[in-house]
Amino acid sequence: MKRLVIFGNTYQQGEISKVFGLLEHLRDRGIEVAIEREYSQFLATKGTIEVPTFDANNVPEADMALSLGGDGTFLTTAMWVSPKGMPILGLNLGHLGYLTAGNLDENSNVIDDVLSGNYRIEERTMLQVQCDIVDISHPWALNEVAILRHDTSSMLDMETHLRGRELTNYRGDGLIVSTPTGSTAYNMSVGGPILEPTSSCLVLSPISPHSLTMRPLVVRDDSDIAVRTHSRATHYEVSIDGEVTLCPTGSTLSIKRAPYCARVVQCQGNDFAHTLRQKLLWGTDQR
């Protein structure tokens, strides 16, 4: 491990001292570091920083990317570095940090374990989405693509095709197409199934469906999904890992597996079952 690139956010104001401590620790270990420019400018308002910077749309070559923050920061980092095949290590500065490998604090051995090579990499399916009318600037998702109502109570009517064949018309507030990684995010909140994150499948989960027969559906991750959305409203929303694009009613979205995966760093002993127990309190007594 010789070079790292770092992404972060400006929300965890109280954790800045830990970030500066991390930078000093990496320097002492002889690791070259470059920081995303916007995050570097934020850090510079909190203390002295003399580290090279880069633009997010032009990430330099590195052995690994560090995501300092919560799940939102991790998703953004994945969008920028996954096309390069760069592994991502998430260090939590937020609340839950479901996607992160551990916390950034004095008692955490995560960074030293990783620098010592004591880790593994999980390849996670990502999605790519296109609209036949509107250009989507950032069309890749690690968690999900969600079709949602926009500023109206009008129901959406979503004609859905699976691998070129008619599947059904989903009628309701929206539709989520989720990866296994995203199965514990928006998908779970609408009653979709929890999937092991390295599974080779996708989930279609309707949001407040008009019909009780409309249930979440698990399909192969090599499935091309086409959704043509109708509504009384003029537009609907497409949320791609939280980044929203307005699409005109009557347009068609094409959703499929991206040509690359997100390579997520996991420390030894930190597996799917452990994450469920520790972060979702799976099967624990909460009394």
For 149, residues 6+ apart whose C-beta sits below 8 A from its C-beta are 155, 156, 173, 174, 231, 233, 236, 237
- From 55, 71, 222, 285, the catalytic residue: 71
Whether residue 142 contacts residue 262, with contact meaning beta carbons closer than 8 Å, is answered with yes
At 77, is the secondary structure helix, strand, or coil? Answer: helix
d(CA 111, CA 258): 29
* Burial grade of 49 (CB within 10 A; 0-12, 13-18, 19 or more): middle
Whether residue 71 lies in the annotated active site: yes
How many Å from the N-terminal Cα to the C-terminal Cα in the chain?
A: 44
Do the beta carbons of residue 40 and residue 12 sit within 8 Å? no
Residue pair 64/33 in contact (Cβ under 8 Å)? The answer is no
The C-alpha atoms of residue 143 and residue 93 are separated, in whole angstroms, by 20
For the annotated catalytic residues, the residue numbers are 71
